[in-house]
Amino acid sequence: MIVVCDASVIIVLAKIGYLTLLRDLFGSVLIPQSVYAESIARDSAVESAAFALAVDDGWIRIVPDPEGLPAGSGRGERAALAIASGLHADLIVIDDLAARKQAIAAGLPITGTVGVLRRAIDAKLIAGGDHLVSMLVGVGFRATDELLNQLG
């Protein structure tokens, strides 16, 4: 399974201590170099350590940003979209609304942070509920109540 991931998902999952769900659900994920740089720049020491361990363990694999990225969302999103499209990825994990719309237009299967957490709940890897929503809100994750209610 080819899964490409954007920075926002990695950052949020690391902040709430669930970064390894990506490995547990998908085996490995690909991230563009620009996503790696963005993820390292935004994380605290604890989150950076978890992220670095994931890279060292090889289940987060860094790939070069493609040349000639199209205009649009941020560099990480554009690179993730280009890689997912070029590799005919099975899934792109991305939260940015504009990038999600581009992924849908390109025919790419998508999910985001809440989708990853919902899959983990369904797989009985974690418990859902208000505590999970509180953790997300506590780290500054923004989503509609309707979306967050999927975690209950």
Return the pLDDT at 119. Answer: 97
Whether the predicted pLDDT of 43 surpasses 60: no
Return the pLDDT at 82. Answer: 94
Return the pLDDT at 75. Answer: 87
Whether the predicted pLDDT of 28 surpasses 70: yes
Q: How many CA atoms lie within 13 A of 93 on its CB side?
A: 33
pLDDT in tens, 55-89: 999 999 999 999 887 665 588 999 999 999 999 99
User: How far is 147 from 114, CA to CA, in rounded Å?
Assistant: 7
Q: Which of 44, 47, 39 minimizes the C-alpha distance to 19? A: 47
Whether the predicted pLDDT of 48 surpasses 80: no
CATH number at residue 22: 3.40.50.1010
Q: Please name the residue ranges forming H helices in 16-112.
A: 21-26, 33-42, 45-57, 75-87, 97-105
Contact 16, 136 (CB under 8 A): yes
| Beta pairing, strands 110-111 & 29-32 | unpaired
pLDDT in tens, 99-123: 999 999 999 999 999 999 999 999 9
Burial 67-95 (b: 16+ CB within 10 A, else e): eebeeebbbbbbbbbbbbbeeebebbbbb
Whether the predicted pLDDT of 6 surpasses 60: yes
Tell me the residue range of the domain where 137 lies: 3-151
- The domain total for the chain is 1
